[in-house]
Structure 1
Amino acid sequence: MPIHVTRQIPRPGEIFDLLHLKTPELNGRKRRLASALTIEDLRRIAKRRTPAAAFDYTDGAADDEISLARARQAFADVEFHPSILRDVSQVDTSTEIFGGPSAMPFGIAPTGFTRLMQTEGELAGATAAGKAGIPFALSTLGTTSIEDVRAANPHGRNWFQLYVMKQRKISYGLVERAAAAGFDTLFFTVDTPIAGARLRDKRNGFSIPPQISLSTIANAIPRPWWWWDFLTTPQLQFASLSSTGGTVGELLDSAMDPSISFEDLKEIRSLWPGKLVIKGVQNVEDSRALADLGVDGIVLSNHGGRQLDRAPVPFWLLPEVVREVGSDLEVAVDTGIMNGADVVACIAQGAKFTMVGRAYLYGLMAGGLEGVERMIEILSEQVIRTMKLLQVGSVAELRPEHVSQLTRLRPVHGADRRELTR
């Protein structure tokens, strides 16, 4: 039997009640950023607006980029286990890390050549981090000086990432400058005895500063705004190293030193008055050794997949390291984080903190300071939403039982490997 639906002629007033037209946004940057709902959305905007060499320097990794793909797949293979009937009308996302507060369980990782991506560079990152109440880390190979970052983020937490260079006095001088500028944590990076094979960069003829050739001109035609910014702002250089002399290539070569050792760690510890964190740890044994030496924290990291391809996935390594040393030092993690849910999964697995690098640079390329603010906003919303759906009221309530890692690939070590080969 057919259903009879009563119909009527709509009155004009009823139609107008349904129309809620928004005032069009005339600011192109704000319009672009408002359309970005995920970090991947920011990445797509960044790719459209940035020359290939600069974008690929951010987006790419070493060799076949297997480490980066595995890191992201590891997060995709997370299964969450929510609780029920908990009051999560309010959640507390704040945490304590390396002796100070952070409004969110993530901060901005150190990145090199940052003003190449977008001219506001580290100033945008530090300013946005300060506004959001999260830490900002400056790289030795940053393009804004230690002092200028401090000026941009005078009341927030600034961290400094250190490469121990062949000319040790240069590194020691940077340690002293960071301490004098009030930076509270030093990241001694240990996964770069030499540079990884960044094949995208080689294919793009990547250089600092960018060299204008027929190919770069062709690539720049649809991106005149990037070149205008680049050509009308101060010269791109390694700001913290600008007084050391030498070409860019010589500075890079000097920054990578295969001779660094535990003796260097002792020297840096004697110079640095704040928290000392070792960045680039990739196994349990080294984590134990560093805990025994009394460092304040470690960052499980394979340098975003940019050094040794097929290196361990930090997220997979995290639970074992936390079981071994989690009561002795603070364990942070980076590499592959593209969603606030990834951050929550890391904290649930025992990390005290996480750091984002590419996500930050995608936001920067998409819209400068406002783009970095949008990146922080997106990740923060995702962290809060994931926590509420898990029904946990604070970061401290996240536990290993909230997360399973699906076994698409499973690392096999030691005795397990011997069992498989019998």
Structure 2
Amino acid sequence: MTQRRVPRPRDLRPLIRFKRPQLNGTKRRLGAACTIADLREIARRRTPKAAFDYTDGAAEAELSLARARQAFTDIEFNPSILRDVSTVSTSWDVLGAPVSLPFGIAPTGFTRLMQTEGEIAGASAAGAAGIPFSLSTMGTTSIEDVRAANPHGRNWFQLYMWKDRDRSMALVDRAATAGYDTLLVTVDVPVAGARLRDKRNGFSIPPQLTLSTVLNAIPRPAWWFNLLTTEPLAFASLDRWSGTVAALIDTMFDPSVDFEDLRWIKEQWPGKLVVKGVQNLDDARRLAAMGVDGVILSNHGGRQLDRAPVPFHLLPRVAREIGRDVEVHLDTGIMSGADIVAAVALGARFTLVGRAYLYGLMAGGRAGVDKAIEILAEEVLRTMRLLGVSSLEELEPSHVTQLRRLVPLTNDPGSMS
């Protein structure tokens, strides 16, 4: 028979510890977030639908984004045991300079509309974490102000080539003068993708107020207070624009840009040059032969061509073919540190996160970006330890198995029986 007794207070005291209440709402919300998905949910609750959907959405049926995220889900890790992982390094060199983690912040447009601290929060958080920050041509903070927010860190500038080449290169000159060390030339936007959420929401700068947007904003007064009491929204690198993103792209950006134009840009830029938006092996080979410093396998976060190739699927082939000559970077679909580790194992020298960073920004400004970086960094470190590796250099393709879900059909009718 089990002997029972009345519990004594001194026995209960070590087992029960009440958590001190956190009165600061932002700290309380961020403190409860364990994953990027948690930050996304906080962001969804605190941000009006049009701004949130601009970040969260993709093109047309959003199949490219869904497939990119599914590709990271469809992997199996292959750990080794009995390895000394008491000390683990997450740093190495990227484009000739050290980074503390194998990911950086991707270029994003309209950023201050997501949360008023915008690129300043992203750049300062990136500098504190020892990772690069990328400023978009369509950013809402100037080249010089981003540099001031991250004076000792690595700043990269992302370029869309316009029909007015002189204006494009004036931005490049400003970035070089401000000390940006890398130019990301985005090449997958000859025209705007059909971002249907934005069309349905009437998304533009400045925001168009309708009855539905006003009703949606009523439970989000902090967002509107920040928007209305800070500098009016505008593209910091462009003239003021009143209209949709798609209309801006189709009006200003040049669909005739080709490899010769890229070669010309390369001759003008004094730093490292990386081409963003590579989606097949032949283009990657051609860029490597041209002498670029890096390629970013990306389908623009699923925001351009729906049903585009999944960058993570393309990664092993491109890394094998050109990885010795140029750095291979990756974005699209990354939502965890495990995704980043898998990408590095399959040949990526570096990865970029866009939505993950913006979810943190919308959830809590600079503190939210810090939290997003912290979550990803902890997941990278934990995944490496559980795999049995103590440095990024030890990660190999053998650590990851890509499981098959979407398998191309052959053109041979006989093989389909």
1:165-244 matched pairs, under 5 angstroms: 165-242=162-239
Query: Which amino acid in the other structure matches residue 55 of structure 1?
Result: F
Asked whether the 8 Å contact 2:275–2:296 carries over to 1, the reply is yes
Q: Which residue of 1 aligns with 2:115?
A: 118
TM-score in terms of structure 2 length: 0.97
- Per-residue CA shift, 1:30-69, capped at 9, x if unaligned? 0000111000000000000000000000000000000000
Q: How far apart are residue 9 of structure 1 and its match?
A: 2.1
Q: How far apart are residue 367 of structure 1 and its match?
A: 0.4
Secondary structure of 1:241's counterpart equals coil
- Per-residue CA shift, 1:198-248, capped at 9, x if unaligned? 001111111111122211111111111111010000000000114xx6645
TM-score in terms of structure 1 length: 0.96
- Per-residue CA shift, 1:240-270, capped at 9, x if unaligned? 114xx66455744344221111121122111
- Structure 2 residue corresponding to 1:93, chosen from 90, 94, 104: 90
Asked whether the 8 Å contact 1:159–1:186 carries over to 2, the reply is yes
Q: Which residue of 1 aligns with 2:350?
A: 353
Q: Unpaired runs of 5+ in structure 1?
A: none
- Per-residue CA shift, 1:86-130, capped at 9, x if unaligned? 000111000211111110000000000000100000000001000
- Structure 2 residue corresponding to 1:369, chosen from 353, 362, 366: 366
Query: 1:99/1:29 Cα in 2 relative to 1: closer, same or farther (>3 Å)?
Result: same
Which segment is superposed worse, 136-145 or 258-267? 258-267
Q: How far apart are residue 294 of structure 1 and its match?
A: 0.5
Query: Which amino acid in the other structure matches residue 402 of structure 1?
Result: H
Give the Cα–Cα distance (whole angstroms) in 2 for the partners of residues 349 and 379 of structure 1. 18
Asked whether the 8 Å contact 2:234–2:241 carries over to 1, the reply is no
Q: Which residue of 1 aligns with 2:396?
A: 399
1:384-395 matched pairs, under 5 angstroms: 384-395=381-392
Give the Cα–Cα distance (whole angstroms) in 1 for the partners of residues 308 and 412 of structure 2. 21
Q: Which residue of 2 aligns with 1:338?
A: 335
> Percent same amino acid at aligned positions?
67
Give the Cα–Cα distance (whole angstroms) in 2 for the partners of residues 45 and 248 of structure 1. 28
Asked whether the 8 Å contact 1:88–1:391 carries over to 2, the reply is yes
Q: How far apart are residue 22 of structure 1 and its match?
A: 2.1
1:245-284 matched pairs, under 5 angstroms: 247-248=242-243, 251-284=248-281
Secondary structure of 1:15's counterpart equals helix
Which segment is superposed worse, 51-60 or 95-104? 95-104
Query: Which amino acid in the other structure matches residue 205 of structure 2?
Result: I
- Structure 2 residue corresponding to 1:162, chosen from 156, 159, 162: 159
Q: Which residue of 2 aligns with 1:138?
A: 135
- Structure 2 residue corresponding to 1:13, chosen from 10, 13, 38: 10
Secondary structure of 2:352's counterpart equals strand
Give the Cα–Cα distance (whole angstroms) in 1 for the partners of residues 344 and 13 of structure 2. 48
Give the Cα–Cα distance (whole angstroms) in 2 for the partners of residues 143 and 246 of structure 1. 12
Asked whether the 8 Å contact 1:84–1:391 carries over to 2, the reply is yes
Asked whether the 8 Å contact 1:165–1:254 carries over to 2, the reply is no
The count of corresponding residues between Structure 1 and Structure 2 is 414
Asked whether the 8 Å contact 1:195–1:256 carries over to 2, the reply is no
Q: Does 1:293 align with 2:284?
A: no
Asked whether the 8 Å contact 1:163–1:255 carries over to 2, the reply is no
Secondary structure of 1:410's counterpart equals coil
1:5-44 matched pairs, under 5 angstroms: 5-44=2-41
Give the Cα–Cα distance (whole angstroms) in 2 for the partners of residues 24 and 397 of structure 1. 43
Give the Cα–Cα distance (whole angstroms) in 2 for the partners of residues 304 and 18 of structure 1. 47
Give the Cα–Cα distance (whole angstroms) in 2 for the partners of residues 343 and 312 of structure 1. 18
Cα RMSD after superposing both structures? 1.4
Query: Which amino acid in the other structure matches residue 69 of structure 1?
Result: A
Secondary structure of 1:370's counterpart equals helix
Give the Cα–Cα distance (whole angstroms) in 2 for the partners of residues 316 and 53 of structure 1. 31
Query: 1:231/1:246 Cα in 2 relative to 1: closer, same or farther (>3 Å)?
Result: closer
Q: How far apart are residue 76 of structure 1 and its match?
A: 0.4
Asked whether the 8 Å contact 1:167–1:254 carries over to 2, the reply is no
Query: 1:151/1:6 Cα in 2 relative to 1: closer, same or farther (>3 Å)?
Result: same
- Per-residue CA shift, 1:304-326, capped at 9, x if unaligned? 00000000000000001111111
Q: Unpaired runs of 5+ in structure 2?
A: none
Asked whether the 8 Å contact 2:299–2:309 carries over to 1, the reply is yes
Give the Cα–Cα distance (whole angstroms) in 2 for the partners of residues 63 and 400 of structure 1. 33
Give the Cα–Cα distance (whole angstroms) in 1 for the partners of residues 14 and 171 of structure 2. 63
Q: Does 1:57 align with 2:54?
A: yes
Give the Cα–Cα distance (whole angstroms) in 1 for the partners of residues 98 and 213 of structure 2. 44
Asked whether the 8 Å contact 2:102–2:350 carries over to 1, the reply is yes
Q: How far apart are residue 21 of structure 1 and its match?
A: 1.5
Asked whether the 8 Å contact 2:138–2:235 carries over to 1, the reply is yes
